[in-house]
Amino acid sequence: MSGDPEQDYFADGMVEEIITALSRIRWLFVIARNSSFTYKGKAVDVKQVGRELGVRYVLEGSVRKAGGRVRITAQLIEAEKGASLWADRFDGSLEDIFELQDKVASSVAAVIEPTLQTAEAARSAARRSNDLTAYDLYLRAYAMLWSSARNIPEALRLTEQAIARDSRYGPALSWAAYCCVALLHGNQSENREADRRKGADFARRALQVAVDDPGVLANTAYALAYFGEDIGAMMALIDRALALNPSFARGWFISGVIKLWAGQPDVAINDCEVSLRLSPRASIRPALGVIGGAHFFARRFDKAVPKLLLAIQEDSSYIQPYRYLAACYAHMGRLDEAREIVARLRATTPVVMPDANYLRNVEHRELFLSGLRRAAGEAT
């Protein structure tokens, strides 16, 4: 990372921290320190590095110090094409060198995981449909999941195809469970009881085969919490996922969701804000929806409204922010606006009043449903 001998110790430590952070992402194949260090200080072609190490992606960077300040640059490159997928720089003080190394390593790991997921999904989409492995199908489902809430049924179909090819593929099982929740939560399910049973089964099977995979733990905690499993046990499950990978941005988001359902709105806001800091370029719609919902349950209606409006602006197909916003407006006495939001909600789904049993706090559940009832009643 650095050609300056005086900076070698810092650059070496930085590389060690990043390798360690990336190695926590279980689906990544990360080249060990000794192999990657053979290229240190050399002007080598990225395509050559990819061929020699047998990797598809290369992370390169540099360290520059001036006085008590340091600038670290990093770039993620697709080795075969030499195309840059992501680049950023980090500035900091050398007063606490280890804290700076930890910060940069966690930030890089948090950004690289979703970037590579997207890149791998694009690679899979370019393959022939008769040449798809379970992993390819899983990647296609992943891309579908994040494109629009309307694509959830297709994403579930793809994960089920992946499971048919490999019945012990933990990530596919956990995402299938996640899709079942999304169908129910978004009122797209054609058979709610069947999808509930199927989703719970996928989640339990995922836990049996991938108990140490942070992504699997996060998805199964989310699904089983929604399906009514003990909320304390599900919080412990997501805490385990974050202990395995503290830089897991989506894990922090899922933690926020579960804490919201458990009746801890301020903790939910904190966890979602950690998620946004770790992955600032990811879609912010889900986190904004949770933060807005948390302010709503804390009766901070004036703070909830702008977050929920932004969440809807980010993705108008995601219906939960509409519900929170309609209830929020109703409790604020802004009934015309509540009526307008309910009308927009009905254009997306015929079901205004959801099954809200996933909200374990009875007071929160009644606040939500009473606001929705008032908004819907005013709209009829």
Pick 354 or 268 by higher pLDDT.
Answer: 268
Strands in 57-66's sheet, in edge-to-edge order, are 57-66, 69-78, 83-93
Q: Distance between CA 207 and CA 327 in Å, rounded?
A: 36
Task: Enter the tokens of residue 182.
Answer: 């999304």
Inter-residue contact 68 to 94 (CB < 8 Å):
yes
| Phi, psi for residue 32 in degrees, rounded to 5 | -70, 165
Cα 205 to Cα 24, 47, 142, 164, 202, distances in angstroms: 22, 40, 19, 13, 5
Q: What is the mean pLDDT of residues 341-347?
A: 92
Where helices occur in 54-151 by DSSP H, the ranges are 97-125, 134-147
pLDDT on residue 242: 92
Ranges 21-25, 108-112, 321-325: which has the least confidence = 21-25
Q: Do 97 and 65 belong together in one domain?
A: yes
Query: Predicted confidence band at 131 (pLDDT cuts at 50, 70, 90)?
Result: very low
Report the percentage of the chain scoring pLDDT > 90.
44
1, pLDDT greater than 60 = no
Q: Do 285 and 318 belong together in one domain?
A: yes
Q: Is the C-alpha dihedral spanning 6, 10, 11, 12 positive or negative?
A: positive
Report the percentage of the chain scoring pLDDT > 70.
88
- Domain stops at, among 217, 246, 275: 246
Burial label for 6, CB within 10 Å (0-12, 13-18, 19+), is: exposed
Q: Do 85 and 133 belong together in one domain?
A: no
Query: Predicted confidence band at 8 (pLDDT cuts at 50, 70, 90)?
Result: low
Q: Do 104 and 131 belong together in one domain?
A: no
Q: Do 155 and 76 belong together in one domain?
A: no
Task: Enter the tokens of residue 22.
Answer: 């990336």
Q: Distance between CA 116 and CA 78 in Å, rounded?
A: 10
Q: Do 286 and 358 belong together in one domain?
A: yes
Q: Do 279 and 210 belong together in one domain?
A: no
- Domain stops at, among 108, 140, 165: 108
Query: Predicted confidence band at 33 (pLDDT cuts at 50, 70, 90)?
Result: low
Q: Do 67 and 148 belong together in one domain?
A: no
- Do the domain assignments include residue 68? yes
375, pLDDT greater than 50 = yes
Q: Distance between CA 329 and CA 64 in Å, rounded?
A: 52
pLDDT on residue 2: 45
Q: What is the mean pLDDT of residues 282-294?
A: 87
Task: Enter the tokens of residue 247.
Answer: 């830089």
Q: What is the mean pLDDT of residues 93-99?
A: 72
Pick 306 or 56 by higher pLDDT.
Answer: 306
Pick 167 or 45 by higher pLDDT.
Answer: 167
Q: Do 216 and 289 belong together in one domain?
A: no
Pick 43 or 308 by higher pLDDT.
Answer: 308
Q: What is the DSSP letter of 190?
A: S
- Do the domain assignments include residue 368? yes
Q: What is the mean pLDDT of residues 314-336?
A: 93
pLDDT on residue 232: 96
pLDDT on residue 291: 98
91, pLDDT greater than 90 = no
Task: Enter the tokens of residue 107.
Answer: 């930030």
Pick 344 or 7 by higher pLDDT.
Answer: 344
Q: What is the mean pLDDT of residues 179-205?
A: 92
Nearest CA to 243 among 2, 24, 23? Answer: 24
**What is the value of pTM for the model shown?**
0.74
Q: Do 207 and 290 belong together in one domain?
A: no
- Do the domain assignments include residue 166? yes
Query: Predicted confidence band at 241 (pLDDT cuts at 50, 70, 90)?
Result: very high
Q: Do 376 and 278 belong together in one domain?
A: yes
- Domain stops at, among 53, 78, 108: 108
Q: What is the mean pLDDT of residues 312-332?
A: 93
Question: What CATH number should be reported for the domain holding residue 353?
Answer: 1.25.40.10
Which residues have a Cβ under 8 Å from the Cβ of 147 and sit 6 or more positions away? none
- Do the domain assignments include residue 251? no
Considering its fold, how many domains does the chain have in total? 3
- Do the domain assignments include residue 201? yes
pLDDT on residue 335: 96
- Do the domain assignments include residue 159? yes
Q: Distance between CA 44 and CA 328 in Å, rounded?
A: 57
Q: What is the mean pLDDT of residues 185-202?
A: 91
Q: What is the mean pLDDT of residues 75-99?
A: 81
pLDDT tens digits, residue range 135-144? Answer: 888 888 887 8
Task: Enter the tokens of residue 205.
Answer: 């099977």
373, pLDDT greater than 90 = yes
Q: Distance between CA 232 and CA 269 in Å, rounded?
A: 18
Ranges 47-56, 96-105, 132-141: which has the least confidence = 96-105
The type of residue at 311 is A
- Do the domain assignments include residue 164? yes
The type of residue at 320 is Q
The residue assigned the tokens 């789904």 is 349
Q: What is the mean pLDDT of residues 74-80?
A: 85
Q: Distance between CA 292 and CA 302 in Å, rounded?
A: 10
Q: Distance between CA 306 and CA 324 in Å, rounded?
A: 12
Q: Do 275 and 349 belong together in one domain?
A: yes
The residue assigned the tokens 């697709």 is 78
The most confident of 78-87, 115-124, 148-157, 282-291, by mean pLDDT: 148-157
Residue 63 region by backbone torsions, left for phi larger than 0, else alpha for psi between -120 and 50, else beta: beta
pLDDT on residue 4: 54
Cα 193 to Cα 55, 203, 368, distances in angstroms: 44, 15, 23
Pick 160 or 95 by higher pLDDT.
Answer: 160
- Do the domain assignments include residue 153? yes
| Reduced DSSP (H G I as helix, E B as strand, rest coil) percent helix, strand, coil of the chain, to 5 | 70, 10, 25
Domain that holds residue 213: 127-246
